[in-house]
Structure 1
Amino acid sequence: MHIGLIGGLGPAATISYYTRLIAAFKKADLPLSLTIEHADMNALLQRAAEDQRTAQAEVFATHLDRLPGAGSDIALITAITGHFCFEETQAISPMTLMDGTGIIETYCHDNGIKTLGILGSRTTLETNLFGLLKTVEVVVPQDRFESVWSAYMKMAETGICSEEQRMLFFEAGQAMIDDQQADAVLLAGTDLGLAFDNQTPEFRVIDVIELHINALVSMVAVGGLT
């Protein structure tokens, strides 16, 4: 099975997907066949802020049109913000598109997570992850709302996480556990690996990239799409 990624959303997250896919497929002793199609992060953020679902879906469809020619069998949008127009994109996609948020909901159901705190971009927080999680209660940072999304965007744009930014994310995550009874905190921004990779916060963290990669490895292990 050949995997297609719509990357560049932002660049640090794309690099993380790439390096972690290599490691995961090597560990599973499976061949990795992969193509990455670059998309514009700033244009995505603007359309998401303005809820231009159809316009962004058409942009994604243009990228998706190219991937089958490279041999791709399935595609994934490597940004949670990019899922704000998932249904619209799926409707016009020329190929199978992985439901990146559906995987989150399945994981929460299977692991008894009923209330989920989220960290991520402004639109992701303002819309409670675009209302895409139907069976999980979503909570967002309260007192730190503005500072969290602002720090996230700066980190995503620069590809660098300062110690101050890391501590802000950790404090916001812990507050959602302590004050809002979240069972876990979702890294609902794929660049958050810059802050959380190789760290041990005192709360349960759900890494979206890890969920996506595990799903892709499982698909290849059983012989591809079913």
Structure 2
Amino acid sequence: MASPSDSLPLGLVAGLGLGGGIFYYRSLVQEHMARGLTPRILMTHAEVARVLDLAAARAKQELAEYLADLLGQLARGGAQLGIIPAFAPQVCATELARLSPLPLVDLLDAIAGEVTLRHLHRVAIFGARVTMETALFGRLHGVAEVVDPQPEELSRIADLYRRIVEKERASEEEFEILRNLAHTLVERERLDAILLAGTDLSFVFKPDNTDFPHVDGARVHIAAIMRSCSA
């Protein structure tokens, strides 16, 4: 029987960039402990290359079916709330919502809510190519103006992000390139913020080393998860 210090059992689809999954797990444990809650987290592992390839191809139904199968494994293990801790798979968010055996804490809704709350009117997105090219899968339409980087800038950001996902870290040079690009875009385009829409960017750009206005999508999502599982 669950005690008052228990939270809702969470089902985390890890492996969507191993570093990102570890970041979510560590952050969720820390947030539970800070609230005096006992974390109950189940995990299963996705094939990151398969997910990224399906997302890039916009194969929404196939990707949703694959993720729903993983969520089903978590549901059978006792999870009551599902978490997709990555941005690229959100390309199939609508399809997955119909198939998922678990209720999901919507990453994109959490970010749209944060952008609205902070009255951000002009933003640019850093993350995987599919996330940038679709302007966060259209979820910010009517919420904020999304300013596209120039084509060569977008390719540079996408290539750097994929390398970070593969290596689970960023070199000092990669960090500085992204940081300088962020400053350039904020100044040239008069942006209110850079939206860090890649989970692996959250362990590259931390509160103590990020000196440009930004929205940390993964941390916003984690806050929303905690509201849902400890309500």
- Map residues 59-138 of structure 1 onto 2, 5 A cutoff: 59-134=66-141, 135-138=143-146
Partner of 2:147: 139
Q: Is the 8 A contact 1:104 1:208 kept in 2?
A: yes
Q: Which runs of 5+ in 2 are unaligned?
A: 1-7
Say how many residue pairs are matched: 222
Partner of 1:189: 198
Structure 1 CA distance, aligned partners of 2:89 and 2:76?
22
| TM-score calculated relative to the size of structure 1 | 0.93
Q: Is the 8 A contact 2:32 2:39 kept in 1?
A: yes
- The one-letter code of the counterpart of 1:160 is R
Identity %: 29
**Aligned with 1:187: secondary structure?**
strand
Alignment deviations for residues 152-204 of structure 1 (CA, whole Å, 9 cap, x no partner): 10110011210111011111211221111221111101011232125433312
Structure 2 CA distance, aligned partners of 1:91 and 1:181?
39
Deviates more, 1:81-90 or 1:123-132: 123-132
**Aligned with 1:37: secondary structure?**
strand
| TM-score calculated relative to the size of structure 2 | 0.91
Structure 1 CA distance, aligned partners of 2:130 and 2:206?
23
- The one-letter code of the counterpart of 1:87 is T
The answer on 1:174 being equivalent to 2:207 is no
- The 4+ residue runs of structure 1 with deviation greater than 6 A are none
Q: Which runs of 5+ in 1 are unaligned?
A: none
**Aligned with 2:113: secondary structure?**
helix
Structure 2 CA distance, aligned partners of 1:200 and 1:35?
31
- The one-letter code of the counterpart of 1:118 is I
Alignment deviations for residues 109-152 of structure 1 (CA, whole Å, 9 cap, x no partner): 11111222211011111221221222222123325221111011
Structure 1 CA distance, aligned partners of 2:206 and 2:45?
24
- The one-letter code of the counterpart of 1:171 is N
Structure 1 CA distance, aligned partners of 2:56 and 2:190?
28
- The one-letter code of the counterpart of 2:145 is E
